[in-house]
Structure 1
Amino acid sequence: MEKFDLNLLTVALAIAEEKSVSRAAQRLELSQPAVSLALGKLRRRLGDELFVRTPGGMAPTPKAVGVIELARQVTQRVKEEVLQQKAFNPETSTTEFTIALSDIGEMVFLPKLLQRVQELAPHASIASVTLPASEVGAALESGRLDLAVGYFPDLKKNNFFQQRLFSHNFICLLRADHPLRGDRLTLAQFLQLGHAVVRAEGRSQEVFDRLLERKNIRRRVVLSTPHFMSIPFIVASSDLLVTVPMAVGTSFASFANIRLVQPPLKIPGFDLKQHWHRRYHDDARHQWLRRLVADLFKDDARWPEPPASRRQSQKPG
């Protein structure tokens, strides 16, 4: 098999269907001598005349009949399974999409994404997973993950694609009846208050932490927690201050006794993106999922506006 040229089968099939070497050459976009040479190779390889001239054109020998049928099956399977891109049908698919979401991902992305997937792919499902940052790349490469959506600054190698969805920023939270009033903290107030700090698997909090380090600002940390979901209950029942991504803050303020206040310094924003491995770049199922995420979120995340004192200088994420 290593020495057998499978292209010879397509030549035999073309001659059989056209009943002419010259017409087979035209169909294959080859010269007539090239087709004659290929037929000669196949004859010698199989030890059979394969085609003989008759008044009706080139007629196959019994040996050739079997070769032609096999060639037809092989070429048809190659067309269907190799050359044609398999379509993804969301209406009938029972696939499970596995997505790594960063610390704010489930609040920002998952509700809208789940709703749209249920509308367009009613039999499909979503698995949202949290992985250490060091494992996300390998999981995308192996296929255990379809997408990583959120803030994943380490996924920059050549084998990874990324698409920016939108930019995001930070906001501070206090309980609604906190004795400090106003829509914006002073630096003195920021330093005086006790802070709750989230140390989650996600990386977005690093943006804020690095800013404080560069400016040599030390918070008075009263509580450190790996979980965002405990924050609204802690803040609503204490005098603690917490600084979180805008989407997290607006979500918490919608159901807890919490109000939004602007931090005392300008905090750099960060881009939320979707990331995938190049192995799956052309896969129809992956392409459908990525288009869905982009259509839902690209430059279209709208959170409640920040307090009035900063509306002119800061756009919502």
Structure 2
Amino acid sequence: MNLNKVDLNLFIVFDAIYSEANLTRAGQIVGITQPAVSNALARLRETFNDQLFVRTAQGMVPTPMAQNIIGPVRNALRLLRISVQESRTFNAREATKAYRISMTDMIESVLLPPLFQRLRRLAPSVSIESLLSKRRETTSELAAGRLDFAIDVPLNTDPQVRHVKLMEERYVCAVRVGHPLAKERLSLDEYLSLAHIQISSRRNGLGYVDLALGKLGQQRRVALRSQHYLMAGSVVQSTDMSMTVPERIARRHGLHYMALPVNDVPALESHLYWHESTDQDPANRWMREQLIELAEQINSQEKRLPRSVEHAALA
């Protein structure tokens, strides 16, 4: 008996014959002719090497083999119907889906706390797997379904990858409160005199500010290169080092921050990416809506905050 290549429609016919004990009525329920039902039954008999149903005056009577498999067959069909239904609708309150999202620790710190507050209210059994995928692998990971979403800077992705901008943030120079150069404005010479922390997930390579400095024939001194904003913020709080980071990171660490004395440093954009194959998937669409709405709320809230932590403390 080989079930690997059995047409699932045969089991639908099997269930109908078992319920109706009549080939004609089974065909009417399934929506096929009586000869088609007979053909399906013949294929099932060959697959199971058993008659499955015996014709009697009382109708088609199931054999012991048929009686043994009707339960698993009906359970499998029920699960299939549920899966099909869930692929068309998404009930957030009852969903148990685990979403896999590639994001940096900065995005984690900004999005995950308020996201879980929302999930606790709207989708208590939904879970999140946060990881950091290599940028060159983002497209293939999304296409293969190993990722549901990626949140990252603008990427050169395949046309089949959809995206929308979630957040945009200007870069600032952040130092500890009380730092000798903590003031309203910072000159280029003062900026270059600082020991800098560069935060990057890559092993090497220049950041936006380094490219802008290069156009001026200048170079900053990077004393520490790190993958993580959380650790870098702790170092800045306890030393005279500085870091050039998105404004919200400086604010969240309670640091004094100043506008960069360098032009042409583009704002940091964070985009939400997903594969077009999931564009109409209700579960994917629901989470996209949550992330986009949440980002809009965060952006709106932070626009109302003071531009300087030190100024806020004095207010």
Q: What is the CA distance between 1:185 and its match in structure 2? A: 4.8
* In 2: Cα distance, 1:200 partner to 1:47 partner: 65
Letter in 1 for 2:250: G
How high is the TM-score relative to the length of structure 1? 0.64
Q: C-alpha offsets along residues 206-246 of structure 1, whole Å, 9 cap, x if unaligned?
A: 34434444x254233163342543446647864x6542112
Give the one of 33, 37, 52 matched to 2:55. 52
Change (3 A) 1:220 1:269: closer
* Counterpart secondary structure, 2:224: strand
Residues 21-49 of structure 1 deviation map (CA, whole Å, 9 limit, x = unaligned): 33322221112332244345556775749
Q: Counterpart of 1:171 in 2: which secondary structure?
A: strand
Instruction: Measure the CA separation in 2 of the matches of 1:129 and 1:47.
Output: 51
Name the CA shift for 1:30/1:205 in 2 (closer, same or farther; >3 Å).
farther
Q: Which runs of 5+ in 2 are unaligned?
A: 309-315
2:264 counterpart of 1:259: no
Alpha-carbon distance, 1:171 to partner: 1.8
| Residues 263, 181 of structure 1: alpha-carbon distance in 2 compared, 3 angstrom cutoff | same
The within-5 A match list for 1:86-235 is 100-119=102-121, 148-151=150-153, 153=155, 156=157, 164-174=165-175, 183=184, 185=186, 188-189=188-189, 193-201=193-201, 206-213=207-214, 215-221=215-221, 223-226=223-226, 228=229, 229-231=231-233, 234=236
Looking at structure 2, the residues matched to 147 and 295 of structure 1 have their Cα atoms a distance apart, in angstroms, of 15
In the alignment, the residues of structure 2 paired with residue 4 and residue 157 of structure 1 have an alpha-carbon distance, to the nearest angstrom, of: 36
- Measured in 1, the distance between the counterparts of 2:274 and 2:282 equals 13
1: CA distance between counterparts of 2:172 and 2:28?
A: 70
The SS at the match of 1:30 is coil
Report if aligned partners of 1:9, 1:68 keep a CA contact under 8 Å in 2. Answer: no
For residues 216 and 163 of structure 1, what CA distance do their matches in structure 2 show?
33
Cα gap change, 1:74/1:270 in structure 2, threshold over 3 Å: closer, same or farther? same
Counterparts of 2:138 and 2:52 in 1: how far apart (Å)?
Answer: 59
1:244 matched to 2:245: yes
- Measured at CA, do residues 201 and 285 of structure 1 come closer, stay the same or move farther in structure 2, by a change above 3 Å? same
Partners of 1:8 and 1:222 in 2: CA distance:
68
1:270, CA displacement in angstroms?
Answer: 3.5
Unaligned ranges ≥5, structure 1: 309-317
Fraction of identical pairs, as percent: 24
Does the residue aligned with 2:32 lie in a helix, a strand or coil? coil
CA distance in 2, matches of 1:153, 1:68: 56
* Structure 1 residue 138, shift from structure 2 partner: 8.7
- Distance, in Å, in 2 between the alignment partners of 1:43 and 1:143 is 38
- 1:303 corresponds to which residue? 302
Deviation of 1:265 after TM superposition, in Å, equals 0.9
- For the 8 Å contact 1:102–1:130, the answer to whether it is kept is yes
Contact kept, 8 Å, 2:212 with 2:264, in 1: the verdict is no
CA contact (8 A) 1:250 1:303 kept: no
User: Per the alignment, do residues 65 and 182 of structure 1 end up closer, same or farther by CA in structure 2, a change over 3 Å counting?
Assistant: same
Count, aligned residues: 295
Taking the aligned partners of 1:263 and 1:159, their CA distance within structure 2 comes to 39
Query: Are the equivalent residues in 2 in contact too, given 1:98–1:147 (CA < 8 A)?
Result: yes
Quote the offset at 1:163 in angstroms: 5.2
**Alpha-carbon RMSD:** 5.0
